[in-house]
Structure 1
Amino acid sequence: MTTAVTIPRHGGAGGRTVAAARARQVVKAYGAGETRVLALDGVDVDIARGRFTAIMGPSGSGKSTLMHCLAGLDTVTSGQIFLDDTEITGLKDKKLTQLRRDRIGFIFQAFNLLPTLSALENITLPMDIAGRKPEGQWLERVVETVGLGGRLKHRPSQLSGGQQQRVAVARALAARPEIIFGDEPTGNLDSRAGAEILGFLRRSVDELGQTIVMVTHDPVAAAYADRVLYLADGRIVDETHDPTADQVLERMLRFSGDQPRTPRSEARGRRS
């Protein structure tokens, strides 16, 4: 019989596993019989703790489905999903909701801010709902990291799109989750605002020790990550470590069947 181990929530890795999240032989199917479609086909992956992972692939490759399954937002047809040492596949709805609330942060393309609340109230809302008090020093550090010091009393309508997404990033960070999932978090922003948000996410990994998983279609956004996973037809088919935007673009062109013509570009794309 396996004995449950209490893992410390804050203050370093402690006895935690190296992987913040894991998928083991995960299959996600929609429909049945001749109409059955495999969105994920036997996926095995470890998401490293304290690192920034990007997930890319063509439309319909399964990248958003993988993120939703890892985050407990969608169920799997078979296989296992673990958050740290907790298997989330098979958890009852109430337990899964509590786990998402207490241990996972989310940043979506839509900012999902309440218009009647100030920026600060939006940031602390999940903790308020959970009956938890924000940690003052941590909250100050998060606000400083995303550059919201002078905007905390403003309502969403008084903020630009980039500032609203900063609030969403701060909201995800403020509760000190074990892992943050971002689904095209810069998709509604112009390039300058998008670069700011990606810079904040990068800093949250480097300076705050956060773990981030981001689905994106943008090679420039993916280049902010430590590791890029490439999906095609529901399977992980490649990965890049410490990527550049050019390397990510080259990999994506390969999957679309358009081979780059420059040999130098091909050589630069290979990683040991």
Structure 2
Amino acid sequence: MTTTHSGVPTAARTTAVAARATDLTKVYGHGETQVVALDAVSVEFRQGHFTAIMGPSGSGKSTLMHCMAGLDTVSGGSARIGDTELTGLKDKKLTQLRRDKIGFIFQAFNLLPTLTALENITLPMDIAGRKPDRAWVERVVETVGLSGRLKHRPSQLSGGQQQRVAVARALASRPEIIFADEPTGNLDSRSGAEVLGFLRESVRELGQTVVMVTHDPVAASYADRVIFLADGRIVDDMADPTAERVLERMRRFPGGRAQAPAPGAEGHAG
């Protein structure tokens, strides 16, 4: 039996699909001002896997994530979370799906300043009128290293700790998939590495599915797989990435630039 760099035996990993895009198209504007942000993109995100989405500015990577997460409408094609087709869902059903099946982590931590860390973590479930699974929340809190900070408010936490709270909030309701948009963009390298480590651990230990948009080859090296977009199309698909391989691929884009990996970054993948 072979083992992936994430530490999960290959034969033990699920082949079930958490989310799928089929010929997904997103067009902004009309006529001469029309911009095709996504051009018939087809891709699957498997359960229990960590996928990074990369590409030059304007490549469509954030648009793809927003369409797959139900945060933006699509112009054509299909977007599914599990067996649920997002296109055509009424607002109420779409809100319910995002609340019940999807977790979000953004570059801005989006914590409520008047609530404690624990209250921020359980807030989505409180709003939905669902009782948190206490044992699961405790496991999540332990996984992200927040056990001693649950009574602190955001102003009493560092940026890295605030993003840990955001990660725990995304994990706490056991969503089918977590979408992370530049989750380390506001963090220093050490805090960013910690948060990426927690995301990696949530996949390995908790069986979570994570899809992350990033511009950083080091961040991408934590993933099982990297999808590269350019001009609204998928142009490459890399398994078991390292920071160096990702950086080299990014450099091959026209005018390609990417953030250079820190020394020793190749070991981050786990």
**CA distance in structure 2 between the aligned counterparts of 1:207 and 1:256, rounded to whole angstroms:** 39
Partner of 1:250: 248
Paired with 1:131 and 1:56, the residues of 2 have a C-alpha distance of 36
Paired amino acid for 1:41:
D
In structure 2, what is the equivalent of residue 208 of structure 1?
Answer: 206
Cα distance in 1 for partners of 2:160, 2:199 equals: 13
Name the residue aligned to 1:42.
Answer: 40
Deviations 1:10-57 (A, max 9, x none): xxxxxx971100001011000011111100000000011110000000
Asked whether 1:96 is paired with 2:91, we answer: no
Count of residue pairs brought into register by the alignment:
244
Q: Is the 8 A contact 1:223 1:245 kept in 2?
A: yes
Q: Indicate the structure (1 or 2) with the bigger Cα radius of gyration.
A: 1
Distance 1:59 1:80 in 2: 24
CA contact (8 A) 2:21 2:41 kept: yes
| Corresponding residue of 1:9 | none
Alignment partner, residue 75 of structure 2: 77
Q: How many angstroms apart in 2 are the aligned matches of 1:258 and 1:60? A: 12
Equivalent of residue 132 in structure 1, options 112, 130, 134: 130
Local SS of the residue matching 1:21: strand
Q: Which residue of 1 aligns with 2:265?
A: none
Asked if the contact 2:15–2:46 (Cα under 8 Å) also holds between the matched residues in 1, the reply is no
* 1:145-196 alpha-carbon deviations (Å, 9 max, x no partner): 0000000000000000000000000000000000000000000000000000
Instruction: Give the SS at the match of 2:202.
Output: helix
CA distance in 1, matches of 2:84, 2:99: 15
Number of the residue aligned with 1:263? none
In the other structure, the counterpart of 2:150 is: 152
* Counterparts of 2:254 and 2:135, CA distance in 1: 47
Deviations 1:99-141 (A, max 9, x none): 0001100000000000000000000000000000111110110
* Corresponding residue of 1:52: 50
User: Secondary structure at the residue paired with 1:256?
Assistant: coil
Q: C-alpha separation between the residues in 2 aligned to 1:257 and 1:154?
A: 45
Distance 2:238 2:59 in 1: 17
CA contact (8 A) 1:17 1:84 kept: no
Q: Which residue of 2 aligns with 1:31?
A: 29
Is the contact made by 2:51 and 2:212 (CA closer than 8 Å) also made in structure 1? yes
Structure 1 pair 17/251, CA: closer, same or farther in 2 (3 Å)?
Answer: closer
Give yes or no for contact 1:17–1:85 (8 Å, CA) kept in 2.
no
Provide the residue aligned with 2:232 in structure 1. 234
Structure-2 residue corresponding to 1:118: 116
Contact 2:48 2:209 in 1 (8 A): yes
Amino acid in the other structure paired with 2:155 = S
**SS at the partner of 1:111?**
coil
Q: Could you tell me how far 1:93 is from its partner in structure 2?
A: 0.6
Letter of the structure 2 residue corresponding to residue 116 of structure 1: T
1:58 partner letter? P
SS at match of 2:77: strand
Q: What is the rounded CA distance, in whole Å, between the counterparts of 1:24 and 1:237 in structure 2?
A: 16
Tell me if structure 2 keeps the 8 A contact 1:22–1:82.
yes
Aligned ranges for residues 159-238 of structure 1 at < 5 Å? Answer: 159-238=157-236
Residues 56 and 256 in structure 2, CA contact (< 8 A), matched pair in contact too:
no
Q: Which runs of structure 1 show a deviation greater than 6 angstroms over 4 or more consecutive aligned residues?
A: none
- Are 2:226 and 2:241, in contact at CA under 8 Å, matched by a contact in 1? yes
SS in 1 for 2:253: helix
Aligned to 1:266: none
RMSD: 1.2
